[in-house]
Structure 1
Amino acid sequence: MTPQKNSMPDEPVRDGKYARVERERRFLLARPPLPAAVTVSRRITDRYLAGTRLRLRRAESLPGGACEFKLTQKVPAQRTGHLQGLITNIYLSPAEYDLLAGLPAATLSKTRLSVPPLGIDVFDPPLHGLILAEAEFTTDEAARTFLPPPQVVAEVTDDIRFTGGSLVHAHRDDLLSWLADYDIRPAPTNPRNP
């Protein structure tokens, strides 16, 4: 059985003065894309600030490119489907980022590969073997009618285990169990480099 978000009555989720509606679908892949298909690569480190809905992100363009720093608040819609909730981003200077990075947080690191229309995240240990693709949309109709590409193993939009806020607290055994629920078994790793 796939865990789902808590269902609540259909309350409208609307763009606000500062927040925008986030429409997104998430998918599991069994393997990363071929390098020739990747248009942009970025190293991302997310810090989920303890006791908040805030995420501090450092994204570095690869190879050795510019860094982008931002603080994000996500307010979930508390219902299933592509309508994720509200998202607000604040872009930061390196000094602002460094100041906020001193706050207690749980950290998640990954490489994001752009293969339009997907952003494909290849996770670092302890979540190695997890390859999660996301597609973002500007309208409900576009989200509903999107046809996932053939490399998609399963859609996990409604499986809360595959959100950043859950993954940041996951252990290796948790991940392997969750992936097994979708018949995905990551290749064994070198015992000296788990």
Structure 2
Amino acid sequence: MVVVDKKFGKYVHPEVERKFLLATIPPDTTFHADITDHYIPNTTFRLRRMQTEHEVTFKFAQKLRVHPHDTRVILHTNFYISEAEYVFLASTLPSHRLEKRRFRFHGGTIPMAIDQFQGHLEGLVIAEVDFGPNGDPSSLTMSSFSLAEVTDDERFTGGRLALITRPQVTTLLDEFNIK
């Protein structure tokens, strides 16, 4: 169980996550959303546009780690904003952009989001499981379609991925034998 210190604010949502690198999108998935993230340099802030089949949502978020080197426990606060606010912030704040298509995996007992990255990150596919504040991340064994667990690998955080170049992505994929 994650206990949140009041200094983080009353609207924070604790997430306990694990991430897995995949070679491809597994069967038993459905499209969920196209996502564009803007990571604001030197901050813990992210601006997001999320388009599902039925709606477009805009968010300004903060993601903090409870402990600086613990990649598994994240304190996440979302502010829902209007499209005009999103356009204003996206056009005025410096940011590093990341695009991905999110799928939901339905073949297991624990819900899983699978992100297929676009643009210069093409070829990168990451599955993410959020256990919520009361979940037990050790209850999940790595799926047969996962190549490696990358939860504790800083290179697979959204902010870091938004910064890497195509040659760096190729090197990263080669490291895990992904073609």
Q: Same fold (TM over 0.5)?
A: yes
Alignment of structure 1 residues 135-154 onto 2, 5 Å: 135-139=129-133, 141-154=135-148
Corresponding position of 2:52: 61
Alignment of structure 1 residues 149-188 onto 2, 5 Å: 149-182=143-176, 184-186=177-179
Distance 2:136 2:64 in 1: 22
Distance 1:134 1:155 in 2: 10
Distance 1:75 1:139, change over 3 A: closer
Distance 2:50 2:135 in 1: 30
Query: Secondary structure, in 3 states, of the residue corresponding to 2:10?
Result: coil
Letter in 1 for 2:82: S
Letter in 2 for 1:29: L
Pair 1:131 & 2:121 matched? no
Distance 1:140 1:80 in 2: 17
1:109 to 99, 104, 110: 99
Q: Structure 1 residue runs of 4+, over 6 Å off?
A: none
Alignment of structure 1 residues 64-79 onto 2, 5 Å: 65-76=54-65, 77-79=67-69
Query: Secondary structure, in 3 states, of the residue corresponding to 2:172?
Result: helix
Letter in 1 for 2:87: D
Letter in 2 for 1:48: Y
Distance 2:3 2:133 in 1: 13
Distance 2:3 2:84 in 1: 34
Deviation at 1:111, TM superposition (A): 0.4
Q: TM-score normalised to the size of structure 1?
A: 0.80
Distance 1:151 1:80 in 2: 25
2:4 to 14, 21, 42: 14
Q: Is this contact kept in 2: 1:13–1:86, CA < 8 A?
A: no
Q: Please list every run of 5 or more consecutive structure 2 residues that lacks an aligned counterpart in the other structure.
A: none
Instruction: After superposition, give the CA deviation of every residue in 1:107-127 in whole Å (9 maximum; x if it has no partner).
Output: 100100111411111111211
Query: Secondary structure, in 3 states, of the residue corresponding to 1:165?
Result: helix
Deviation at 1:141, TM superposition (A): 4.9
Distance 1:19 1:97 in 2: 21
Distance 1:47 1:23 in 2: 22
2:72 to 76, 79, 82: 82
Deviation at 1:105, TM superposition (A): 1.1
Deviation at 1:153, TM superposition (A): 0.7
Distance 1:53 1:67 in 2: 23
Query: Cα RMSD (Å) of the superposition?
Result: 1.9
Deviation at 1:139, TM superposition (A): 4.0
Q: TM-score normalised to the size of structure 2?
A: 0.86
Q: Is this contact kept in 1: 2:15–2:133, CA < 8 A?
A: no
Alignment of structure 1 residues 86-97 onto 2, 5 Å: 86-97=75-86
Instruction: After superposition, give the CA deviation of every residue in 1:41-78 in whole Å (9 maximum; x if it has no partner).
Output: 2110001123321100000013xx31011011011232
Deviation at 1:81, TM superposition (A): 5.4
Query: Secondary structure, in 3 states, of the residue corresponding to 2:136?
Result: helix
